[in-house]
Structure 1
């Protein structure tokens, strides 16, 4: 007891850990200062901290005093091997009076000329988080009092390290999550998006995520998911799943196939993890949404004038839960004006209330409005002023109706790759505008030809942009394609016939060339009676 009191007094006198001068220090700077104080109280020549990450089998040199090359060279010690590895494995202090290849793994220790070592485990909450050891360049025998003193210092350091580690982990997780969640939902003509995300409880980060992305085929990918767990580990797994799903989405528009591939990847590379995922692919004309659920709740679909409902969607096993799980896809019709809500269970589940209560409340709350307004009303009604018990992610999108169809305006680089984006946007806009298949096909061909001509002939190597605008004037679609370049002469015997093609597909075509570029105007009546 007297020894402990003496050790406490020595730590107090040197201001170990609790000194106000340490309050502003962070990370490695703090550890270096603490090691300097360890050397003072232990009268040692060197001091080293090696850390052990959760689940790791190696100690990593993190901070040193008197043997800085240990950190610079990234020294790693296998758990249970050598001096430091033995301390961590046995969870007790160890002293050495012979330093060579038979007693230590790290050759820097004997190259430095260290003659004696004393090390103690760093333990917080019953878990080893690292090792602290000190060394002497002269022969020395560490006393029981010195062992007790170093262990006491190690205990103080372990608490400080864990606090800083937790703070750093939360900050890293928050930054990771910010980087992975969309900073801005995509601007897609005739679609209106809204989203909300709130971590549950006292956590600032979680494993919930949502994502919206366009695909080369003109389809749209829409996903929402919930990784089991919280804080940095869940956020890291979430990031890996998000990236993998995006990669698989490039290979197929079948959402069940994408989730099957994602599951195989998770089973192999993330053993023990589990996540629910709802993935949907929206056809280029936005008329049908293909859905597959890996243990996730079905979305709410609301059409104008009707109460929202949940599609009859088969719920397959979560990602990571069952090997070779059968995954199925279901197609859902989305008429103009339809609003769809993807959400995680934190929005509707409550500890002392059946799930159906939350789902019914969601149905009562949602009506066909602007997507962001729907998000605001849902969060106010289902979450309110209290912090949610679980993480909440909400993603809504609405297919605009005919009477809301404003002009389509796009400005894209004058590159061949832009042509597919022009066509995809036109196809969606014409579908909402009410164009039949023949009329839409003619306009796609005529306007596509005008865009192609601008891409191929308007600019030289320096490049430029092509501007597309489609608008309804009564029953007519008026399309304009503008560039700001100086056209090159057509090359090849079949070149220069674009105007004839445009005139065949449109009711009126006008080309204006000025000093500021070329404007092509194409008019086409949507009524079938207008065409011979």
Structure 2
């Protein structure tokens, strides 16, 4: 029986200790704690002065110092090593163990190694399933001849680190993606007079979130933006891209009410700043009166509409290219009437697509389950019919809105640019709100003219060439309806003869008109008693 080399026995015992850390304690350690524990063991195991883990960045062009023992400044100073340059960069590029017994200026990219007097280095690649994750390297302040056994031991440790890092980072990214996506989806849908909403979101059964989202938000102009979208891909990168697109949509919606224009701007941004991202989006803008919506589709499946006297049908739209695909082509907006009681269903393809089944089958199942019922009941029925107990591989986003013309006393607050074209928008939304609070035809006509005169005065007199805005607030203080028109300008005197009679007209149509001019602007309050509010 041959004698066992005592040195090999010591190494085997130390490797067992490392294996115990990576296996038994893996479930209890965060990624940073795990790396620290392993690097301490590596320094003891190989009797070296420094040990460091550098992980490949998301762009795949740099190694980033993630954990270090001996020269902790590598992490604290955010050291980055270009792939293929310096010692660590060569180890990563060649994917082979590398030894430098006596370094010089050409061997290392990181000046900290020279400043700390490191003389010898041994590095091995971090590989998981053939995928490069980074580099593990150790160093000494005295010249050291690393042996084949040292290389073998360090590679064993590197394999353990790569596996542990991949597992924990994947878990961390999945958790972060879930948290991010949930935080970006609307917690509560807005309360909008004359509209009802309900929504559902279900992540794919594989547990890895994608880039599906839905959103509804009101604009100061009284317009309402509704959107659903799906970023191609899975995981944290898709969730992050979704968040950026959603935020950009909010910003662009402040500048345009045309969904085709909005998607054109978003596509331009995506192709310039994130050319690797592709997404499908459906955007609908509802005008303040809620009578019509303007819809544009970027590679997204069409919405459905149902009404009390007509079964659900798909809205026929020009289906433009998804976002992020060149070349840029003109996008189209379609005008869709939204009669009282009508319901519209927006969704992502995870709801209707199934592996091995025709898309037409899924779309028909959706159509037959859609109705003009209350949105919550519609969502429940659609999810029951199309999902049921089935495990779905892709995320599902579903949003249903219904126009409900039941009377509401919810105050209305809109802001528009102080330009002539805004007067029509203000008139439409004011008329719709007055109808919802039960005003009669004559009362609606009187208030519309009075508010219109106040707004016209703002357009003509309140601002100079730089312009400004008009704010209109409408509320019910029974038995009165109260309209408040504000500006932030300084009024100019009326120009020409037979001008300045708007105030007399307002006073003739309303029960009370009060005008207050301040250094911060002018406020006009108009009161009109409604017979139905007495």
1:386 aligns with 2:397: no
Match of 1:407 in 2: 409
Q: Quick one: structure 1 residues 442 and 111, their matched pair in 2 at CA, closer, same or farther if it must change by over 3 Å?
A: same
Shift of 1:55: 3.3
Instruction: Give SS of 1:49's match.
Output: strand
CA contact (8 A) 2:220 2:413 kept: no
CA contact (8 A) 1:17 1:160 kept: no
Match of 2:257 in 1: 253
CA RMSD after TM alignment: 3.6
1:105 aligns with 2:101: no
Instruction: Give SS of 2:127's match.
Output: strand
Match of 2:529 in 1: 523
Instruction: Give SS of 2:181's match.
Output: helix
CA–CA separation in structure 2 for the residues paired with 1:424 and 1:146: 80
Instruction: Give SS of 1:55's match.
Output: coil
Task: Please give the TM-score of this superposition, normalised by the length of structure 2.
Answer: 0.82
Equivalent residue runs for 1:98-247 within 5 Å: 98-247=102-251
1:38 to 36, 39, 42: 42
Q: Quick one: structure 1 residues 272 and 450, their matched pair in 2 at CA, closer, same or farther if it must change by over 3 Å?
A: closer
Q: How many residues align?
A: 490
Shift of 1:435: 6.6
CA–CA separation in structure 2 for the residues paired with 1:244 and 1:304: 36
Equivalent residue runs for 1:343-382 within 5 Å: 343-382=347-386
Shift of 1:406: 3.0
CA contact (8 A) 1:193 1:396 kept: yes
CA–CA separation in structure 2 for the residues paired with 1:11 and 1:423: 79
1:301 aligns with 2:305: yes
CA–CA separation in structure 2 for the residues paired with 1:170 and 1:114: 38
Shift of 1:4: 9.8
Deviation per CA, 1:119-161, whole angstroms, max 9, x where unpaired? 1100001111010111112221111001000000000011001
CA contact (8 A) 1:285 1:431 kept: no
Query: 5+ residue gaps in structure 1?
Result: 452-465, 483-490, 512-518, 527-532
Query: 5+ residue gaps in structure 2?
Result: 456-471, 485-490, 495-500, 515-524
Shift of 1:211: 1.4
Task: Please give the TM-score of this superposition, normalised by the length of structure 1.
Answer: 0.82
Shift of 1:272: 3.0
Shift of 1:392: 0.8
1:270 aligns with 2:240: no
Q: Quick one: structure 1 residues 146 and 298, their matched pair in 2 at CA, closer, same or farther if it must change by over 3 Å?
A: same
Match of 2:65 in 1: 61
Range 80-89 or range 343-352, more displaced: 343-352
CA contact (8 A) 1:450 1:481 kept: no
1:336 to 334, 340, 345: 340
CA contact (8 A) 1:203 1:230 kept: no
Range 263-272 or range 307-316, more displaced: 263-272
Match of 1:516 in 2: none
CA–CA separation in structure 1 for the residues paired with 2:182 and 2:428: 30
CA–CA separation in structure 2 for the residues paired with 1:139 and 1:21: 34
Deviation per CA, 1:350-401, whole angstroms, max 9, x where unpaired? 2232222222222222222222221122111211122322211111111113
CA–CA separation in structure 2 for the residues paired with 1:481 and 1:254: 28
Range 309-318 or range 430-439, more displaced: 430-439
